[in-house]
C-alpha cells in the first residue's frame, strides 16, 4: 500500500504508489482520497469517497461533483457542468442516472 501512518484509536492515512492515490481511512472503513478514481474505466483523476465496502459514493473530477446511489451504481446527483454542457445542479429519480434526464 505504500506509506502508512497509524495513531492509536484514530484513522489511518496511506499513500499508494501502485494505484496512484492518497487516501485517509476512517475507523469504520470508509475512505476519502485524491488521485486516480477507483474502478474508473477512463482513468479519471480527482477527489473521491468510498463507503466501508469500497463502493464509490462521490467523486469530484474537473470541478464537477458526482454523487452515487450504491444500491444501483447510478450517478443520482451532479453539481457543476451538466450533461447538456450547462452549469448547475441536477438530481435524478431513484434508479436513474443524471445523464438520463437530459
pLDDT in tens, 11-52: 566 666 567 888 888 888 899 999 999 988 898 999 999 999
Examine the domain organization and report whether 8 and 50 are in the same domain. Answer: yes
Examine the domain organization and report whether 28 and 74 are in the same domain. Answer: no
Q: What is the pLDDT of residue 4?
A: 54
Res. 3: pLDDT tops 60: no
Examine the domain organization and report whether 31 and 81 are in the same domain. Answer: no
Examine the domain organization and report whether 3 and 37 are in the same domain. Answer: yes
Query: What is the side-by-side strand order in the sheet with 45-50?
Result: 4-6, 12-16, 21-25, 31-36, 45-50, 56-61, 64-69, 74-81, 87-91
pTM (predicted TM-score): 0.82
Amino acid at each position: 500500500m505504500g506509506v502508512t501512518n497509524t495513531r492509536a484509536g484514530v484513522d489511518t492515512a496511506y499513500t499508494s504508489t501502485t494505484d496512484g492515490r492518497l487516501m485517509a481511512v476512517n475507523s469504520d472503513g470508509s475512505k476519502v482520497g485524491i488521485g486516480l478514481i477507483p474502478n474508473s474505466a477512463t482513468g479519471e483523476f480527482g477527489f473521491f469517497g468510498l463507503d466501508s465496502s469500497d463502493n464509490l459514493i462521490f467523486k469530484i473530477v474537473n470541478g464537477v461533483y458526482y454523487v452515487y446511489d450504491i444500491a444501483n451504481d447510478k450517478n443520482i446527483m451532479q453539481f457543476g457542468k451538466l450533461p447538456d454542457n450547462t452549469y448547475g445542479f441536477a438530481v435524478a429519480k431513484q434508479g436513474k442516472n443524471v445523464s438520463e434526464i437530459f
